[in-house]
Amino acid sequence: MHRLQAAGGRVLACLAVIALCGSLHINAQSKSAEAGVRVVADAAAHRVDVFVDGQSFTAYIWPESIKKPVLYPLRTAAGTLVTRGYPLEPRPGERTDHPHQVGLWFNYGDVNGFDFWNNSDAIKPEERRHYGTIRHARIKRVASGKERGELEVETQWLAPDGQPLLREETLFIFSAGANRRIIDRVTKITALDQRVVFNDNKEGLFGLRVAHQLEQPSNEPAAFTDASGKTTVVPRMNNAGVSGEYHSSEGKTGDAVWGTRGRWVSLTGKIGEEKIALVMFDHPQNPGYPTYWHARGYGLFAANPLGQKVFSNGKQELKFTLQPGQSATFRYRLLILSGDITPAMVQSQVEQFSGKEN
């Protein structure tokens, strides 16, 4: 009897070991499946999610309310949100200006006379005849990998009457490291059956709206959300926890960056105890290189190579034009870094992105 009980005990012990090994194997498989950069499409939900080692990084979304596809939200390697939540997901203490500035986007303020930049549901119906819409057309490809993930999409730039003016084909490349996240955007725009003119305008082209803590301190009056999501107008901004500062490749800092040319611009600051740097890079092959910077202290951070007249006080004018069937390609990189940034880090990114790295 004792021998049977002992044998039974050994069997149960073996089964327990087998179960434990199986559980460890499943967990290892699960962690292995999550490792690297995963790009997961859900067209029915109007989104494509991007994960790094199982943690959410960003998503490509195309809600009707903001009239264009965007990457939203964006997070650091530590998971900290660096983009403003308003108007999609308002957070206490945020500004409530410019409801069209959501996440990371690409569009322009004057295309054949139509404003694509400022369009959103906030536009009054009687004014919508002046505004263009960028409509998501299809997901062409998604790819996940150990080192990087990719997303290819196609969109249409539509006049207010629904007539397509441009076909846009964009490749997003998402990559990551221990303390950094990187987004490369390669966008090809093609004029369809009519000439398309990007008239000189300050509202463009590759834009990002950052979290309140990464704005530059200011004494200007503004409207903010409270804890219940309601808007409150304050005569002077509360600068507690606000620490952003712009730096350009040409040595400009703070508000002096706006309207100047540069190969890159960084925005550095802190959210809580985390030091954060956002660096946007122009590419030597882009039209208008080196770009002008539409970098505002209230949190708008944008590269605009096409608004040259307004930024140069009339000394230059590009009036970028595509004839029917003609294409142009724009390439930009956004680096999101947790921790201190050094000139060597920036230069390394410049060389990698421009293809000059040995």
Flag whether 111 is in a domain. yes
Residue 270, pLDDT score: 98
Query: Comparing 72-81, 127-136, 220-229, 289-298, which segment has the lowest mean pLDDT?
Result: 220-229
Q: If we measure between CA atoms, which residue out of 297, 304, 227, 236 comes closest to residue 269?
A: 297
Structure token pair of residue 311: 């930024």
Total domains, the chain: 1
Answer whether residue 200 is part of any domain.
Answer: yes
Q: Looking at residue 240, what is its pLDDT? A: 87
In a domain, 28, yes or no: no
> How many Å apart are CA 188 and CA 115, to the nearest integer?
19
3-state SS assignment for residue 164:
strand
- Residue 26 lies inside a defined structural domain of this protein: no
Query: Do the domain assignments include residue 101?
Result: yes
pLDDT in tens, 176-218: 999 999 999 999 999 999 999 999 999 999 999 999 999 999 8
Give yes or no for residue 22 having a pLDDT over 90. Answer: no
pLDDT, the chain, mean:
90
- Residue 2 included in any domain: no
Report, as an integer, the average pLDDT of 171-178: 96
The CATH number given to whatever domain includes residue 174 is 2.70.98
Give the integer Cα–Cα distance in Å for 199 and 108: 9
How much of the chain, in percent, has pLDDT values that exceed 90? 82
Q: How confident is the model at residue 282 (pLDDT cuts 50, 70, 90)?
A: very high
pLDDT tens per residue across span 311-335: 999 999 999 999 999 999 999 999 9
Under 8 Å between Cβ of 70 and 103? yes
Alpha-carbon separation of residue 250 from 208, 292, 357 (angstroms)? 21, 12, 21
Q: Return the number of other C-beta atoms located less than 10 Å from residue 176's C-beta.
A: 21
For residue 141, the enclosing domain spans 38-354
Q: Strand, helix or coil at 279? A: strand
